[in-house]
Amino acid sequence: MGTLKDVKVGDTVTVKKIEGVGPTRRRIMDMGVTKGTRVMVRKVAPLGDPMELNLRGFEMSIRKADAGLILVE
């Protein structure tokens, strides 16, 4: 099990846990990233931040710092 920030472009993973506390964790969950969600890394910006993801039928971007709080397998 690793974090979302370590997933390679084109790979699909399943969210196992969201670490952190308070507003940051709540914001990630409000965006639809919850336990059991399948997430595909669509692309990563040239300098590595942000990452573009496909999940639940939509695309979203997330900072690498926030992706490091999301445990996946």
Residue 65's nearest CA partner among 45, 46, 52, 51 is: 51
Domain range annotation of the chain: 2-72
The total of other beta-carbon atoms located within 10 Å of residue 54's CB is 15
Residue 37's nearest CA partner among 2, 4, 65, 8 is: 4
Query: What are φ and ψ of residue 32, in 5° steps?
Result: 105, 0
pLDDT tens digits for range 11-59: 999 999 999 888 989 998 998 899 999 999 999 998 878 999 999 899 9
Q: Specify the pTM.
A: 0.87
Question: What is the rounded distance in angstroms from the CA atom of residue 7 to the CA atom of residue 4?
Answer: 5
Superfamily of domain 2-72: Ferrous iron transport protein A (FeoA) (2.30.30.90)
